[in-house]
């Protein structure tokens, strides 16, 4: 760090040599014709920064003084006036948590045994985990200091959007007494190829979190850990399918191969909004941990995804990283 400070000092001094104005050729001629003028009329520049004093004396002389005793450390935020207002690394002077920002990650769901081994009648739940992604947009954060600006309470407001990509060509039926799903086949009885087959669910979220951070005065060099719960109110739900082939009749069949319905579509994109027997509310246990700009998060829902006796007993989870925090 000391070596870095010294290098930075000389870099600033070198920069000042080019920044301070000099004399042009015309100005030199004028100077020669007026060389008897009082020397106090000559330009004089004085710049002092973190123990470095740069003076422009006369027409072509620059003197640089370096006082190591007055030299401030790079880690001293007071030496950098512009950093004091930086929202990401500045000296904030009060507890500031890690909720507000934009998160990106992956999501899924597990059974009450914390596995993804679904029974034969619930095989439609199998997901393409690599494509099942989610995004959190958390615009509002409220902070309450509890102890020495290192431990505090957070709340706020956010929006969470989840995509569950199904592994097979199942179509969900949500207007029955309970959630059911049927395979989608063509007139030859083969599964219909789908580029996209997903369930989209969005929530408005309210966090109740406690956070500990090691360096509240300088966020860029602070470790933090956050635990708590996040409540959610479901806003929108739909199933989206994008077919490779269309403009023909398709059939919905059960696990025994019996046709239960038929439909025709003249477009590749099918979007079916509905409730799909999802719980209108959710409560997630949340963990957020990180250092400096890096923030990782994980959530696990303590409430089932679907309403009791109206759908499979699965519990959503999500993991990811904060792309942008404020």
At 5-57, the pLDDT tens digits run: 555 555 655 555 544 444 444 444 454 555 554 444 444 555 555 455 666 66
Mean pLDDT of the chain: 83
Is residue 298's pLDDT more than 60?
yes
Is residue 317's pLDDT more than 70?
yes
Distance separating alpha carbons of residues 260 and 255, to the nearest angstrom: 11
CB atoms within 10 A of CB 210: 15
Confidence at residue 267, expressed as pLDDT on a 0 to 100 scale: 94
Domain boundaries defined on the chain: 2-74, 96-325
Q: Tens of pLDDT along 120-169?
A: 999 999 999 999 999 999 999 999 999 999 999 999 999 999 999 999 99
> Which pairs from 21-24 meet CB under 8 Å and 24+ separation?
22/60, 23/59, 23/60
First to last CA, the chain: 27
Q: Tens of pLDDT along 206-248?
A: 999 999 999 988 878 899 999 999 999 999 999 999 999 999 9
Distance separating alpha carbons of residues 173 and 182, to the nearest angstrom: 8
Confidence at residue 9, expressed as pLDDT on a 0 to 100 scale: 56
Confidence at residue 244, expressed as pLDDT on a 0 to 100 scale: 95
pLDDT (mean) for 171-199? 94
Confidence at residue 46, expressed as pLDDT on a 0 to 100 scale: 58
Is residue 299's pLDDT more than 80?
yes
Q: Which range is least confidently modeled, 1-5, 279-283, 317-321?
A: 1-5
pLDDT (mean) for 77-99? 55
CB 168 within 8 A of CB 126: yes
φ, ψ for residue 161 (rounded to 5)?
A: -125, 125
Confidence at residue 140, expressed as pLDDT on a 0 to 100 scale: 97
**Both structure tokens of 3:** 């070596």
Distance separating alpha carbons of residues 79 and 93, to the nearest angstrom: 16
Which pLDDT band holds residue 175 (cuts at 50, 70, 90)? confident
């Amino acid at each position: 760090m000391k070596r870095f400070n010294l290098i930075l000092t000389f870099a600033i001094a070198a920069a000042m040599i080019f920044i301070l104005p000099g004399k042009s050729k015309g100005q030199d001629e004028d100077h020669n014709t007026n060389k008897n003028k009082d020397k106090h009329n000559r330009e004089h520049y004085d710049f002092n920064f973190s123990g470095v004093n740069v003076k422009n004396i006369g027409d072509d002389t620059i003197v640089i003084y370096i006082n190591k005793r007055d030299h401030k450390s790079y880690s001293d935020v007071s030496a950098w006036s512009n950093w004091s207002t930086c929202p990401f690394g500045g000296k904030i002077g009060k507890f500031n948590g890690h909720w507000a920002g934009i998160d990106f990650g992956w999501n899924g769901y597990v059974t009450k045994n914390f596995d993804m081994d679904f029974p034969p009648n619930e095989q439609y739940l199998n997901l393409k985990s690599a494509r099942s992604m989610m995004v959190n947009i958390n615009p509002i954060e409220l902070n309450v200091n509890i102890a020495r600006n290192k431990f505090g309470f957070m709340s706020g407001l956010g929006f969470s959007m989840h995509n569950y990509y199904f592994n097979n060509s199942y179509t969900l039926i949500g207007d029955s007494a309970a959630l059911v799903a049927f395979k989608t086949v063509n007139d030859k009885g083969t599964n219909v190829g789908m580029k996209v087959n997903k369930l989209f669910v969005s929530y408005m979220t309210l966090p109740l979190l406690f956070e500990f951070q090691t360096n509240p005065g300088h966020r860029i060099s602070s470790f933090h850990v956050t635990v708590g719960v996040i409540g959610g109110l479901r806003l929108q739900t739909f199933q989206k399918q994008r077919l490779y082939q269309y403009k023909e009749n398709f059939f919905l069949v059960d696990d025994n191969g019996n046709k239960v319905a038929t439909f025709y579509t003249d477009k590749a994109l099918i979007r079916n909004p509905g409730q799909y027997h999802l719980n209108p509310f959710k409560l997630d246990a949340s963990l957020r941990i990180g250092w400096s700009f890096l923030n990782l998060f994980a959530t696990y829902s303590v409430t089932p995804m679907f309403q009791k006796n109206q759908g499979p007993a699965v519990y959503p989870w999500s993991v990811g990283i904060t792309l942008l925090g404020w």
